[in-house]
Amino acid sequence: MFGKKSAIDLATTWVEVVFIILLVVGLLLSVTAANAYLNFIIIFLCGLLFGRLLYQERRNLKLAFYLVVFGFLVGYVVGSYYTNKTLVTLFFVIGITASYYAHFKKIIE
């Protein structure tokens, strides 16, 4: 009963750990933003970052990447209490799409 280790095995549960970490980071980032416009700018920039990561890992994408991105988005949306959740999600998707397209067309290296 007491012989088993109760530590988290990061080799098998790293997705859940990163999901929770990015959920908290997204929550803290959106709570610290002073107003709605700053929230939209921050989520757009985060979308650009995730679009770059999506482009870099496009050959070997797994469900884990989408779960981690979704965790960040959920944390950010929950933390952006006074802003429109639909617009926050839209700016995030526009940022991802713009960054992926710019990398795909070699506008950005």
In a domain, 48, yes or no: yes
In a domain, 6, yes or no: no
The model's confidence at residue 3, banded by pLDDT at 50, 70 and 90, is low
pTM of the model: 0.86
Name the residue with higher pLDDT: 74 or 33: 74
Are 30 and 37 in contact by the 8 Å Cβ rule? The answer is no
Cα distances (Å, whole numbers) of residue 93 to 4, 6, 11, 51, 87: 44, 39, 30, 9, 10
Report the domain count for the chain. 1
For residue 44, what are the domain limits? 15-57+64-104
In a domain, 46, yes or no: yes
Closest of 38, 44, 30, 39 to residue 90, by C-alpha: 44
In a domain, 97, yes or no: yes
